[in-house]
Amino acid sequence: MSDLPVLVMDGTFDGLTAPAHGDLVADTLPNAVRVTFPDAGHDVTNGSPQCALEVIQGFLDRPDAPDLGCVAGLAAPPFTVG
């Protein structure tokens, strides 16, 4: 276990490492900041580049309280069958 600040990010559609794995990682680190991007897959910087960079910068600026506001404005893309 480590008490260092850690940023754990993933996307809802991550087929490589499911968001539940990020939960497990964050649960073992007392100073983890957990962020799931609802519109991204494994590479959140590709799926939601501007917001991901804002979150990363916010964490670097204030690891104990980064600004995660942009994540609230994200939504999964529409999904249709047929």
> What is the pTM for the complete model shown?
0.88
In this structure, are residues 69 and 44 in contact, taking their beta carbons and an 8 Å threshold? no
Residue at 82 is within a domain: no
Helix (H, G, I), strand (E, B) or coil at 5: coil
The residues pairing with 8 across neighbouring beta strands, listed in sequence order, are: 34
Q: What pLDDT, on the 0 to 100 scale, is given for residue 77? A: 84
Residue 8 near residue 37, CB atoms below 8 Å:
no
d(CA 81, CA 72): 26
Say if 78 falls within a structural domain: no
* 47 part of a folded domain: yes
Query: How confident is the model over 8-19, as pLDDT tens digits?
Result: 999 999 988 889
Q: How many domains does the chain have?
A: 1
- Mean pLDDT to the nearest integer, 64-77: 94
Structural domain contains residue 77: no
Give the pLDDT score at 62.
97
* Any domain includes 41: yes
Give per-residue pLDDT as tens, 9-65. Answer: 999 999 888 899 999 999 999 999 999 999 999 999 988 899 999 999 999 999 999
**Cα–Cα distance measured from residue 20 to residue 78, given in angstroms and rounded to the nearest whole number:** 23
Q: Which domain holds residue 21?
A: 6-67
Residues in a beta bridge with 37: 11
